[in-house]
Amino acid sequence: MIPVIIYDKCQCDPKKCTAKRMLKFGLGREAKTLGAIPSGSIVLSPFSDRALSPADIGHAHKGLVVMDLTWTNIDEFPRLRRVEERALPYLLASNPINWGRPMELNSAEAVMAALIILGQREQAETFMGRFNWAPEFMRLNGAMLDDYSKAKDSTEVVRIQNEYIESVTGGNSGSDDSSDRESRQSSSS
């Protein structure tokens, strides 16, 4: 079981906050300060140069950290040392606020996706039972998540991601590093 750690910046509506809901149902533990985030853990970050892949499972056992803040305040995303930052690959949001928007997942969607990519589908399913939009998330992203979870490393995840983007955009996947970085995502409510 991967320890899920939630750092909540308390920027969203508490009634809609998936971070608070994950904590309420015991699906993760709260890191009240940045210093409480375990060294060597994975922090899901939209600014990472590396995509999350199954090869990251060793670091994930130290902790999978989701930073809960709104997408409108993403520039406040803290940069940390002593952790492994990883971006999630291209996925579509299924939550009521950002439905269908690529790369704007809420915290619960990000954790579910990360767990599936890391090969922890059973743990991800415990999250799915707590969010009524989870079946739609899997309908929208199931094939992509399956492919990402079979990749050997970050480079292969980015290749798979670019193939999906190319199939959606008709050939403009952007294969340079800056486009790859922009094509990946992290979590926010």
Give, for 8, the enclosing helix (H) or strand (E).
strand 4-8
Residue 36 lies in a domain: yes
Does 120 map to a domain? yes
Whether 166 is in a domain gets the answer yes
pLDDT value for 187: 45
What pLDDT sits at residue 73?
54
Based on the structure, what is the number of domains in the chain?
A: 1
List, run by run, the mean pLDDT of 10-residue segments along the chain (189 residues).
87 76 92 88 91 97 87 60 91 90 91 98 92 93 98 98 91 50 44
Enter the pTM of the model. Answer: 0.84
Q: Is residue 155, in this structure, part of any structural domain at all?
A: yes
* Domain annotation covers residue 188: no
Write down the pLDDT at residue 186.
Answer: 44
By the 8 A CB rule, do 86 and 184 touch?
A: no
Range of the domain at 36: 4-183
Domain contains 189: no
